[in-house]
Chains A and B, each alone.
Chain A
């Protein structure tokens, strides 16, 4: 290995983690207080300083309006998407609409894009690594859920740049986990990675052939995660409270946050001890000024009943992945669980039942992804890199056609990198430009797919309609990011491409953000003020 190092960052919905490879062994780096996972929360204080991590998490209640969490749920999404609509009704911070349907977050008179928020988390991870290693770090491999689309990957990559990191690779979380498991183990197996994070669920099936990690298929649900389990408990508490007192706690953001926190703790306690005592003292006052508490007991049975349908949903996704890989559950050699919620007995048992196999023990579901990312980083920097990841694209790439329909260009679960070319022609005489819309998704209808962007080509030979032939090449690179280029088939000339990614940041935006980000003071919280990291859910 050269003296270059690259850190691996698991940028989670709720918690993040950073690791590095030392002497061939991936190690998770702790912060000053020995915490190995860090809440993906950014809190903006009144004096202009910014807190990130477990210390910031405390502020979700006290400084709710200026504390941003679960940004990963919003990154790379359009303002009109369901996820954003839901967030607007639930999140205590202000979500605004930016240019081109993008999402912006307003905190204390300043408006941030989501990559800028995530950049602050990444910057904290970088700082943790630098403090721990005593040297500067500039390169990183950052993980994303396998089911992230191009917009989300691009936005995550932008976040890395804004944080001052050279992002060597955007790696899929399940793939990273498989790498951490199979690295140097000389196994030939088919493994399933069941990755239930804080906000997303992914399942990937890999075939490990010694040093080649081939992803056979991947499937996921970007709307399903540990947070949804919390929601169930929250809803139960709130409804119950509503029935007793006729007060709806969900109307008040402060109460809502308190509830959320209590729900998360209850979920963890139920998982650990089979029973949880929920106590929220003085959560609110009624009209007469009487202070009300919540005191409840949640048993494992009650909990299981509330979340069973969520767990079942994950197996629909597993079915899909197995089917794409043309395997059955019996073909699987190992099952690896990733993500905090997989610590819940109900999840473990259901997985065991579904695959008829005990999930692997000894894999830390919170750290394995960061370790895999670190391994990949080391492999990339090492000339004789010894592992070869062959990932797949999780979603079909499509182009828009007339009438609001789309046509498939690259099918989902195609190994990447890959490219496909398609020849287009002009529809009018003397047409000077051609416009192509690119989508990702599994539907024929454009409005049911995610639009990645609009590409406009010009600079080709002008002629009669149908005479001009433009070959457009769609490429998905090893990051899972889509590139488009075009050439005039007659003249062989490369035509110019204008890309207007609807939600992406322009290069200018990024440069501006980088400058702004450098100026932001990251305040490392004082010792002792940090929360203990408990069962991170992402």
Chain B
């Protein structure tokens, strides 16, 4: 153990010896795109690193699409966007086989799920049938069409959005399917300073309009795969594991919670915590990491009655003593 307070070994960037651009380059790239949302960006990256999917629950115009695009560009991946409407069919998402008259064979036309980053806008507006097709693809990371499995991209990452207002004619996502998302985020409006910067960024001189180019992200898809593997190897101390189990059990026995955290949710929570620790430059998870990601992880999978999910999460987090330094 090294107790150097001023030069903790733990702050040493991970993977710097392997000439792989570390995760901070992706972070700074995204921060340059979405202003004033540092914490949300970190959570999105943690979600990406833990191979989870992201549910954005937000008002229009807060930068959901911008974020999705930026992520796709940040990892040099292919972006696909689906606007979920009631008439969207499963095949519109997964792809379909079409008979080719010339070759007299069925040809597979891959759908948007075969992209690296899929933005499913207003997922709660499409029919449950289509929803479940997407959610199945998310869980299995492959789609089966005409009895033939088609594997999806290894870094397949779904950003689904939900519009909390205007719920008329919407099909709310079933709880079981919500569990397939790793975290639920609310980007929210930027603060005053960020808004000022956003507005100033848009004001350009005539010359600049042509020459302005976005900064290039140094991260490639294979780098991301490497980082994802590295995130998985972040150590979890047995006491932290116990702490998580305590929290999960507390969520199951809470009075106001109808549906607690499932084992799948628990695994997801740990993966996000690992990625979070990695983002902080550590190779082990601390209880603070677990607590910091608790709200986005739990808000997607707790079903409460009588009070809001946030109150229930607060109570659960406050009821379990965090492991202390020993």
A binds B: no
Please report B residues at the A interface, Cβ cutoff 8 Å: none
